[in-house]
Amino acid sequence: MGGEMARYTNKNSDVSRLRHGSVGLLMAGLLGTLSGVANAAWEISLQEPVTAVARRVYDLHTLLTWVIFIIFIGVFAVATYSIIFHRKSKGHKAADFHDNTTVEIAWTVVPTLILIAIAVPATTTLVEMRDTSQPDLTIKATGYQWKWGYEYITGDAAGVKYMSVLATPRDQIENKAPKGANYLLEVDRPMVVPVGKKVRMLLTSSDVIHNWSVPAFAVKADAVPGFLRDTWFRADKEGTYRGQCSELCGKDHGFMPVVVEVVSTEKYAAWVEGQKKEMAAAADDPSKVWKLDELVARGEKVYTANCAACHQPNGKGLPPAFPGLDGSKIAKGPKEAHLDIVIKGKPGTAMAGYGAQLGDTDIAAVVAYERNAWTNKLGEVIQPAEVKARRGK
């Protein structure tokens, strides 16, 4: 994220480079020893903005940083003078004064004026940030523990929906393999939007509070379960922009990135076309009767994508917060109860209901997998029709 984009490889306007330069200079001055280090890993300011709003935020931050820097230098120049010249060891005798109404009024009024001056750009920027009216397309992002679901509500892609899951392999996280360039900031299916279009994001969550954040757009909004929030952006440059969940949401909070691909209008149209075809092809025949081995094979995929984070690939779970399924009462008990807990979840625990996220076939497959994997060799087949029958019970 900061990596690729802020390395200034993309030839942006001079204004933006100036912007980087000024804050860079200031921050480098503050840090002293790190001045002149141009490595991307030493980023010391906000990521390069790619929306008009993010540029305003960037400029506002630069302005504020200068203001506080100057105040700090001014105030401590006085203190430093005093520390150097008003020392007892130099024989300085203490003066006796302890009140002065004029200076006290001055140092109340002057900061007030400074505050009013910076309140003006702060207010106008904020008003612009909150104006979600007249979007070109609307996308709903739903936070799940621990992935994002995207659903295109309006626009050409209306109806397209999918999950977006961390793509970084486990081996890289556990230091068993070298880390890739976008370590922890890569997903299997990014959100795709057209360049230059006003995108309104609707945010909600299915379990706990998450936060959908993309620094390059200056977008950060909580996804609150049971409520819809909205925000917006209009990216004016093609590229891949990365952010992360920004509200502690449980054990894999650090592992649910947000990736947005901004593409040209043509590419976007092609992507929409592809998505629609894919969805049509992937639609399951609800009356199909499945055999055990094909069901279990599909179930394993569903399990890996949805269940393995908590219940673990070996079915042992991480007890007691995340119970094991291998040999468990539910996975070896009556299948109705097993289906119910998968569809509706278990209140008061991290077990979410998957009824809304997964189709009948996927639920049938994953329950069949859980009842036949590891030591749970029940040999049971569960058909999509049975799942459909359990819904609403």
Partner 1 sequence: MQATQHAAHTGNHDDESHGHHPTGLMRWVTTTNHKDIGSMYLWFSFIMFLVGGAMSLIIRGELLAPGLQYVSPEFYNQMLTLHALIMVFGAIMPAFVGFANWMIPMMIGAPDMAFARMNNWSFWLLPPAAILLVASMFVPGGAAGTGWTLYPPLSIQMGMGMDLTIFAVHILGMSSIMGSINIITTILNMRAPGMTLMKMPLFCWTWLVTGFLLIASMPILAGAVTMLLTDRHFGTSFFSAAGGGDPVLFQHIFWFFGHPEVYIIALPAFGVVSHVIPAFSRKHLFGYTSMVYAIAAIGLISFFVWAHHMYVTGIPLTGQLYFMYATMLIAIPTGVKVFNWITTMWRGSLSFETPMLFALGFLVLFTIGGLTGLVLAMTAVDIQLQDTYYVVAHFHYVMVAGALFSAYAGLYFWLPKWTGHMYHEGLGKLHFWSSMIFFNIAFFPQHFLGLAGMPRRIPDYAQQFADFNLISTVGAFGFGISQLLVLVVVFKAVKGGAKAESRPWDGAHGLEWTVPSPAPYHTFEEPPAFDPAEAHA
- Closest Cα to residue 55, out of 235, 190, 223? 235
**Which 3 state secondary structure label does DSSP give 229?**
strand
Encode burial over 154-192: b for 16+ CB neighbours within 10 A, e otherwise: ebbbeebbbbbbbbbeeeeeeeeeeeeebebbbbeebbb
19, 50, 51, 129: which one binds partner 1 (CB under 8 A)? 129
- The least distance separating partner 1 from the CB of residue 337, rounded to whole angstroms, comes to 21
Task: Name the residue nearer to partner 1 (CB basis): 207 or 370.
Answer: 207
Q: Restricting to residues 340-379, name those near partner 1 by CB under 8 A.
A: 348-350
Task: Name the residue nearer to partner 1 (CB basis): 269 or 350.
Answer: 350
199 binds partner 1 (CB under 8 A): no
Q: Restricting to residues 75-94, name those near partner 1 by CB under 8 A.
A: 75-76, 78-79, 82-83, 86-89, 92-94
- Closest Cα to residue 222, out of 141, 127, 318, 333? 141
Q: Restricting to residues 229-258, name those near partner 1 by CB under 8 A.
A: 229, 243-255
Task: Name the residue nearer to partner 1 (CB basis): 248 or 378.
Answer: 248
Binding pattern for the stretch 286-325 against partner 1, x by CB under 8 A and - elsewhere:
--------------------------------x-xx----
Q: Restricting to residues 255-284, name those near partner 1 by CB under 8 A.
A: 255
Judged by CB under 8 A, how many residues of this single chain contact partner 1?
105
Q: Restricting to residues 134-193, name those near partner 1 by CB under 8 A.
A: 172-175, 179, 181-185
For the record, the structure tokens of 159 come out as 């109806």
Those residues whose C-beta lies under 8 Å from the C-beta of residue 205, and which sit 6 or more positions away, are 142, 143, 144, 223, 224, 225
- Closest Cα to residue 300, out of 382, 367, 383, 385? 367
36, 38, 96, 102: which one binds partner 1 (CB under 8 A)? 96
| Cis ω for the linkage preceding 146 (within 30 of 0) | yes
